[in-house]
Structure 1
Amino acid sequence: MGGSSPALPGAWRTALNALYDGAGVLAALCMVGLLVMVMLSILGRQLHFNLPGVDAYAGYAMAAAGFLALAQTLKRGEHIRVTLLVTSLRGAWRRGFELWALSAATLLALLFAAYSVRLAWQSYTLHDVSTASDATPLWIPQIPMAVGAIVLAVAFIDELVLEALGRRGAHAPEEATRNE
């Protein structure tokens, strides 16, 4: 990703950016996997063969792509934000509101990460499997969700630290500036 204001030593910033980019690359690979699964499903119907579990794996790939892309989306300023209130605030009020919002989001992301990890662990220990014809152990598709949630929590902590140090840049995605 690059371009974030360095609040941490260069090696830390490089490592965090590599983490966000790595999760983004994994999300892109999951999207390719989703495409492959959908194409196999279509071909199977056209050529009269059945690959059990293809639909389930397409769903797993879609969920993995969504969760793994969360942190990079946040760091690029592409998450949906209600800016009506934020843009009306100035100075200390705006900074205070940003700190409050980032603190709340960080707390929620940490809880989400903890419960995602817990869910995957419980599925592993209980030998929980999919009810679809693939009977996949559920901890396998739950791992990308947990990893994505952890990386999102790290990204929110990063944003909170940057804001607290006054080094967080204003995110104004191009698309938002073109909206009518």
Structure 2
Amino acid sequence: MRKFLDGLYTGSSWLAGLGMIGVLLMVSYSIVGRLAGIPVGGIDAYAGYAMAGAGFLALASTLKKGEHIRVTLVLGMLQGRARRALELTALLIAVALSGFLALYSARLVWQSWSFQDISTGIDATPMWIPQISMAVGTLIFFIAFLDEFCLELLGKRLPPNSEELHHE
């Protein structure tokens, strides 16, 4: 199971990287196209979709690498059971919030598909297509928080790489 989860987080980060490459290519094409007088209508919207997709798909990998911003003022003052209790409480809240985010992201995709919602730009893209990356990214983010919670509960979670925690 560990190998599968780590592969899921790595795969998601690779997809995020591809999204960023897509942004680079679309913005570059837009610049060159405008300079050459070639119409590039709608390319800005696709660059935005790729940027949003990259952001959501990178969430889980960033969490698992300990790169999310953590407020550790109170946590740094605690030790032992109190510290572990606060970690478990914070992770449980994060599991719940990320679960709601994933649920409502998937619901948005479903509603966009069922209502045949399209973008208002010249491209008239069905909105459920770019929204899929948000739903998938938030689902993997939820799985990553659930993973972190279970690891903390079992005592197998690695300590976060936060400088503030080491200056006690």
TM-score by length of 2: 0.96
Query: After the TM superposition, which residues 8-157 of structure 1 pair with which residues of structure 2 at under 5 Å, given as runs?
Result: 12-157=1-146
Q: What's the secondary structure of 1:83's corresponding residue?
A: coil
5+ residue gaps, structure 1, are 1-11
Separation in 1, partners of 2:162, 2:141: 19
Percent of counterpart pairs with the same letter?
54
Which stretches of structure 1, 4 residues or more, deviate above 6 A after TM superposition?
none
Alpha-carbon distance, 1:44 to partner: 1.1
Which of 146, 151, 155 is the equivalent residue of 1:162? Answer: 151
- Contact 2:57–2:134, Cα closer than 8 Å, also in 1: yes
AA matched with 1:140: I
TM-score by length of 1: 0.89
AA matched with 2:119: S
Separation in 2, partners of 1:159, 1:61: 28
- Contact 2:34–2:40, Cα closer than 8 Å, also in 1: no
Separation in 1, partners of 2:76, 2:132: 38
Number of matched pairs: 165
5+ residue gaps, structure 2, are none
Please list the CA deviations of residues 109-150 of structure 1 after superposition, one character each: whole Å capped at 9, or x if unmatched. 000000000000100010000011111000000000000000
